[in-house]
């Protein structure tokens, strides 16, 4: 789900609770806070020597000891609106960062509208080889290159 889709979803259902469901079906405690709205830009060299870039909106959520805290969809939409100055491209994907024993990052797999809430459904984020043709792997979906190729991999596999 991208930022524009999330903002539209929140505005359409501005009078409901905002909830988050982990990939295993468990719910993040309803007293969570959104502690950061981040613009995360990553420039990196893949294992094939290709320069790549990714840009995401990352929402960091945290559960404190104030068990009575609740966030509504309308408030979440206004939080995202405050970030417009550094998130002008609303086509970027949204990810959630959450700590439950370890800090994990999740993608937004979908949502469910219940009578009283908008529930974001999270999915695990995975790594992958971005130069499968050089590593002898089947082709995968990958990020577009932003620079020229200078492969460090050969027929024997990745470096």
Q: Residue 67 carries which DSSP code? A: T
> Tell me: the pLDDT tens digits for 91-138?
999 999 999 889 999 999 999 999 999 999 999 999 888 888 888 887
- The region of weakest confidence among 15-19, 116-120, 126-130, 142-146 is 142-146
Q: Are 125 and 107 in contact (CB under 8 A)?
A: yes
C-alpha 130/C-alpha 134 separation (Å) is 9
Instruction: Report in angstroms the alpha-carbon separations of 139 from 43, 52, 53, 126.
Output: 22, 17, 19, 16
Under the banding of pLDDT at 50, 70 and 90, the label for residue 140 is: low
């Amino acid at each position: 789900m991208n930022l524009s889709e999330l903002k539209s979803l929140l505005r359409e259902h501005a009078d409901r609770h905002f909830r988050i469901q982990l990939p295993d079906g468990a719910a993040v405690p309803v007293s969570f806070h959104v502690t950061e709205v981040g613009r995360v830009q990553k420039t990196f060299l893949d294992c094939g020597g290709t320069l790549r870039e990714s840009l995401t909106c990352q929402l960091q959520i945290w559960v404190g000891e104030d068990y009575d805290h609740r966030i509504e969809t309308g408030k979440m939409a206004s939080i995202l609106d405050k970030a417009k100055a550094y998130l002008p491209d609303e086509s970027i994907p949204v990810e959630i960062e959450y700590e439950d024993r370890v800090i994990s990052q999740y993608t937004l797999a979908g949502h469910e509208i219940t009578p009283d809430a908008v529930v974001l459904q999270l999915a695990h984020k995975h790594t992958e080889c971005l130069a499968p043709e050089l590593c002898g792997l089947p082709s995968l979906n990958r990020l577009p290159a932003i620079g020229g190729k200078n492969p460090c991999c050969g027929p024997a596999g990745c470096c």
